[in-house]
């Protein structure tokens, strides 16, 4: 892909509605303990009590703070939910949907291993979709690979299964269409990066692989605000926060997130769900990848 960086027309052939400078999606990966379980499985190990318990902070405590904040600032969000979370913590996922947020696919067991077959991924999607559909009454329209891992056949598979968008790539700051053999596919990619991922700043461990400490809320706020301001200045870009209730759902952090969302609202950002942005891109066009 190529495009002219002139500070005005970034995100080729696409402008956001009502002259909005930027599309913001405040998204959550509702992984609970299954993020660490899947990562340990890939290493041939299992998680200890600390990771297990910390993962459960999401459904036990953090999620309700996230939901209450979204109500307070009056925005709708997209929650990427592994099927197993929809089964283990079903009532909480029902509550997410009841409050009007989008549920999207994020693996069944948060499978993040590389090199699986197309048939294996099909089975994972079938199981995950069935769980989410049993809660919302409709199939999910969006997909984010666990740990953002997708496979060469994934975009085509998603399209065959009726998905509108994927959100796993990290390669640019705007929405684009996937393509295959020179043909543009009606599947939107909404890239996001670990720069906007709360795990990057808040995950603490003594041993994985070395001691890591946390960033302060002010540092995180500063990084995210600067990224938002710069992208909004360039125009027609997207800004996706990738959050986890077990991380951002701590009392002090949710306050920081509320401050950031209020700031973005004050700047006239278009803050909505991934589904709504994908539908807009599909209707109004954009560039291809
Ligand atoms: Zn995840």
What does the pLDDT look like over 261-284, one tens digit per residue?
A: 999 999 999 999 999 999 999 998
Which DSSP symbol is given to 102?
Answer: E
Cite the DSSP H helix spans in the chain: 34-42, 49-57, 63-73, 83-88, 90-98, 118-136, 154-160, 198-202, 217-234, 245-248, 251-266, 274-284
Which DSSP symbol is given to 99?
Answer: T
In a domain, 49, yes or no: yes
Picking from 203, 258, 240, the residue whose alpha carbon sits closest to that of residue 67 is 258
d(CA 112, ligand 1 centre) in Å? 9
In a domain, 275, yes or no: yes
d(CA 236, ligand 1 centre) in Å? 27
In a domain, 5, yes or no: no
Give the CA distances from residue 176 to residues 14, 158, 190, 226, in Å, rounded to whole numbers and listed in that order.
10, 15, 7, 23
In a domain, 62, yes or no: yes
Phi and psi based region of residue 204 (left: phi greater than 0; alpha: psi -120 to 50; beta: remaining): beta
16-61 confidence digits (pLDDT tens): 999 899 999 999 999 999 998 888 888 888 877 888 888 999 999 9
Say how far apart CA 242 and CA 29 lie, in whole Å: 7
**Number of domain units in the chain:** 1
pLDDT for residue 3 is more than 60: no
Say how far apart CA 103 and CA 100 lie, in whole Å: 9
Say how far apart CA 61 and CA 72 lie, in whole Å: 17
In a domain, 201, yes or no: yes
Phi and psi angles of residue 253, each rounded to the nearest 5 degrees, phi first: -70, -35
d(CA 7, ligand 1 centre) in Å? 33
In a domain, 6, yes or no: no
In a domain, 251, yes or no: yes
Do the beta carbons of residue 11 and residue 174 sit within 8 Å? yes
d(CA 281, ligand 1 centre) in Å? 25
d(CA 244, ligand 1 centre) in Å? 8
Do the beta carbons of residue 185 and residue 159 sit within 8 Å? yes
pLDDT for residue 118 is more than 50: yes
Which DSSP symbol is given to 181?
Answer: T
d(CA 34, ligand 1 centre) in Å? 8
d(CA 149, ligand 1 centre) in Å? 10
Q: How confident is the model at residue 9 (pLDDT cuts 50, 70, 90)?
A: very low
Which DSSP symbol is given to 241?
Answer: E
195-246 confidence digits (pLDDT tens): 999 999 998 877 655 567 789 999 999 999 999 999 999 888 999 999 999 9
Six-digit token string for 40: 């340990």
d(CA 9, ligand 1 centre) in Å? 33
d(CA 204, ligand 1 centre) in Å? 17
Q: Which domain holds residue 33?
A: 17-288
d(CA 29, ligand 1 centre) in Å? 5
d(CA 31, ligand 1 centre) in Å? 5
d(CA 107, ligand 1 centre) in Å? 8
Provide the whole-model pTM: 0.93
Q: Which residue has the tokens 């693996």?
A: 107
Cis bond upstream, residue 209 (ω within 30): yes
Q: What is the CATH number of the domain that holds 132?
A: 3.20.20.370
Return the bridge partners of 168, or none: none
CB count, 10 Å around CB of 95?
15
d(CA 157, ligand 1 centre) in Å? 20
d(CA 289, ligand 1 centre) in Å? 24
Q: Which residue has the tokens 């994908």?
A: 278
d(CA 118, ligand 1 centre) in Å? 20
In a domain, 136, yes or no: yes
d(CA 220, ligand 1 centre) in Å? 20
DSSP conformation letters of 184-209: EEEEEE----GGGBHHHHH--BSSSS
123-181 confidence digits (pLDDT tens): 999 999 999 999 999 999 999 999 999 999 999 999 999 999 999 999 889 898 998 88
Return the bridge partners of 177, or none: 188, 288
Say how far apart CA 128 and CA 116 lie, in whole Å: 16
Q: How confident is the model at residue 114 (pLDDT cuts 50, 70, 90)?
A: confident
């Amino acid at each position: 892909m190529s495009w002219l960086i002139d500070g005005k027309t970034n995100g080729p052939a696409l402008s956001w509605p009502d002259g909005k400078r930027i599309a913001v999606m405040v998204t959550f990966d509702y992984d609970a303990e299954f993020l660490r379980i899947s990562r340990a499985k890939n290493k041939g190990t299992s998680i200890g009590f600390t990771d297990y318990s910390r993962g459960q902070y999401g459904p036990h405590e953090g999620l309700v703070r996230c939901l209450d904040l979204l109500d307070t600032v009056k925005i709708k969000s997209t929650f990427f939910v592994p099927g197993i979370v929809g089964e283990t913590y079903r009532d909480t996922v029902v509550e997410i949907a009841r409050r009007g947020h989008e549920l999207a696919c994020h693996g069944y067991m948060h499978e993040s291993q590389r090199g699986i077959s197309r048939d294996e991924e099909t089975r994972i999607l079938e199981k995950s979709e069935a769980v989410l559909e049993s809660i919302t009454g409709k199939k999910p329209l969006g997909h984010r690979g666990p740990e953002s891992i997708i496979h060469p056949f994934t975009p085509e598979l998603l399209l065959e299964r009726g998905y509108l968008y994927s959100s796993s790539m990290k390669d640019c700051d705007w929405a684009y269409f996937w393509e295959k053999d020179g043909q543009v596919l009606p599947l939107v990619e909404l890239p996001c990066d670990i720069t906007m991922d709360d795990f990057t700043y808040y995950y603490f461990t003594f041993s994985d692989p070395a001691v890591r400490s946390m960033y302060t809320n002010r540092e995180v706020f500063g990084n995210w605000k600067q990224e938002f301001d710069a992208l909004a200045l360039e125009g027609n870009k997207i800004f996706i926060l990738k959050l986890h209730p077990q991380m951002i759902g701590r009392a002090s952090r949710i306050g920081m997130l509320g401050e950031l969302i209020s700031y973005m609202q004050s700047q006239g950002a278009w803050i909505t769900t991934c589904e709504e942005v994908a539908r807009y891109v599909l209707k109004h066009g954009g560039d291809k990848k």
